[in-house]
Amino acid sequence: MPKLIAALVFVAVLIAAYFAVVLNWNYSTGERAGWLQKLSYKGFVCKTWEGELALVSLPGSSVEKFLFTVRDDAVANKLQAAMGKRVSLHYEEKVGLPTSCFGETRYFITGVSETSEIPLGPGVVVNTPPSESAASAP
């Protein structure tokens, strides 16, 4: 009986170590810029923020979508405030998570910033109009 308990404890420690490594190690990190078009809080048991960023490389080209997950409510609040605007998202890509309980995608957003310029090509930039709150400030 003690060998069975020791084996179960050993397996539990291995599983906990695996999750600790997978959640703290990043396969890649980076930035994606585009138009924030969707953010929803969903899941049956494990609720996560899931979003969609429209990436447009050149005017007139087809839109590529970047699907992402947000685990931090403070970042989700910033994303909600920037809905419909052009943003730059900092992400961490995690691989090896066994269930969708951690999120539906491999890309976890850790930071967000609004961008005011739209690059059309090398050296060609279009400024976006200021937001209404910035326009009304003296």
* 34 burial level (CB within 10 Å; 0-12, 13-18, 19+): buried
Residue holding tokens 């909600």? 80
Q: Please give the pLDDT value at position 75.
A: 94
Q: Residues, the chain, total? A: 138
Tell me which CATH homologous superfamily contains domain 28-128: Nucleic acid-binding proteins (2.40.50.140)
Evaluated on CA atoms 83, 54, 121, 88, the torsion sign reads positive
Position 125 confidence tier, pLDDT thresholds 50, 70, 90: low
The domain ranges of the chain are 28-128
Cα–Cα distance between 15 and 35 in angstroms, integer? Answer: 38
Position 16 confidence tier, pLDDT thresholds 50, 70, 90: confident
Cβ–Cβ < 8 Å for 64, 102: no
Structure tokens at 61: 């080209």
- Residues 74-123 have pLDDT tens digits of 999 999 999 988 899 999 998 887 777 788 899 999 999 988 766 555 55
Cβ–Cβ < 8 Å for 71, 15: no
Position 57 confidence tier, pLDDT thresholds 50, 70, 90: low
